[in-house]
Chain A
Amino acid sequence: MNADDPYEGTAAGFSYGWSGRAAGSGPGWERASAQDHDSILFPGAMALTPPAETSNQTSFTNYVPNSTSTSFTVSFNGPNVTFNPPSAAGNVTGSSFMPTSGYARPEPARLEIRRFYHWDKSATAGAAVAPEEAARPVAAEVASAHETLRVTETAAVRVVEDESARARESARRRLVVRRGTISPGSLTSVAMFLAGRRRPLVGVEWRGHLLGEHGSGLTQREQVRAARGFILAALQYRVRDAADLAWRPADAVLRSRFLSNLFVWGPVMVTLIAIVRHDGRYGLVTDDQDPAELGAFLYLVIRTGRWWRGIKPPPPKPRRAREADSGADEGRPSPEG
């Protein structure tokens, strides 16, 4: 007897099929678990009434009514059932057994008995668990399995798609990070390019800077910060170079006394000539304020420009050789001319 099998032991299958007609069958059937080609013992007095459906079976070949045996054997061979009453006498008379054919109207549980006779383990199993479950058609089972498979496949596809999307997103993020992270060496190269050809050795200096005081190198963060500073310095170099280029004509004027005097006196003289031509000499008296104001303004521009640019004009040349000699001898600066 297999106690783990719910369809064996304690006459699981038989209790469904025979309980209604085995009068006084008692608590159960011993060895009823041995269902296939096995025997069943009927304890005590009982009346066994095989179901009417069994009359249609051709398996009752050895059934002997009015047997006095207390036990008999029921053999199952697929859909066939065979009763084999033993020869041993007992208290139960054969009258307690009723012949199969023509007796006993079918009970409402007749189908269950049929299910028992036509022993099908899976069918019995279905009946033991839930009759409606067992009665489900195979097509429904197949459809359910297909539905389960379809759902499973859909879920698997969704998981694969999610994993692929996640992998793509991760790869994209890694690419962005890789693009966003520029090495200090690359930044230094960019700074060297920005610094231009006029400063070819700043690259050597800056690369030595990245290596640190003892050649062990700065940390990555310090290197990146220093390299950004190199770029800023290179940009300042460029801006200053451009400003110097723009200031070059003005610086030339500010450095040269001749050009500075020309810058001041040129417009003043042009103005004076224009006044004389337009108003005559009398105009110089009446309009004398304008050339003086113009000259003062231009002189102020020159002085301010020299202060702003930090330019000191060269000392004026000595007018006379004697002054030059005396100036050189005394070590005094030459007077401005």
Chain B
Amino acid sequence: MTAVIMDVLDVLTSSPLDDPPWGLRLCEQTSYGTGTIYPALDRLLKIGWIEDRWEDPPPADRPRRRYYYVTSAGRAAYSEELADRAARRTRWSARGLRAGGAA
């Protein structure tokens, strides 16, 4: 799982359901450009980790927004990836401590 995917999932999982993020807000909160965020969203949509909903009712003064929500599968994958990362970090930290103690 790439860092972009992780950052997008992090924003999506931490966003409230009544104020879901959309493209511009995801770009602002992850500090990635549109050329990075939208392909990542497309990929996540394809594998089913997120889903999209169009703004309803559509406003009269601007185009509709496309809100993104994380699915249960996406949330599980994100949690699993976080656990894996924590385990790896712990493992590497323990190796570092052991190496430092041996030295």
Contact = CB atoms under 8 A, between A and B. Distances in A.
B34 A226 contact: yes
B34 A205 contact: no
A208 B65 contact: yes
B30 to A, nearest CB: 13
Contact of B25 (A213, A229, A233): A213
Contact of B35 (A201, A213, A230): A230
A233 B63 contact: no
Contacts, number: 68
A215 B43 CA distance: 28
A229 B43 CA distance: 16
B39 interface: yes
A237 B37 CA distance: 12
Interface string B61-72: 111111000000
Interface in B4-62: 22-25, 27-28, 33-39, 42-43, 47, 54, 61-62
B23 A205 contact: yes
B23 A229 contact: no
A225 interface: yes
Interface of A is mostly: helix
Contacts of A229: 33-38
B24 A225 contact: no
Contacts of A228: 35
A240 B44 CA distance: 13
A198 B23 CA distance: 19
Contact of A236 (B22, B25, B35, B65): B35
A175 B48 CA distance: 48
Contact of A237 (B34, B39, B65): B39
A118 interface: no
Interface of A: 201-202, 204-209, 211-213, 215, 225-226, 228-233, 236-237, 240, 310
Given A208-B62, A225-B34, 5 more contacts: A226-B33, A229-B33, A229-B35, A229-B38, A240-B43
20 contacts: A205-B22, A205-B64, A206-B34, A207-B63, A208-B24, A208-B63, A208-B65, A209-B23, A211-B62, A225-B33, A226-B33, A229-B35, A230-B34, A230-B38, A232-B33, A232-B35, A233-B35, A233-B37, A233-B38, A236-B39
Interface of B: 22-25, 27-28, 33-39, 42-43, 47, 54, 61-66
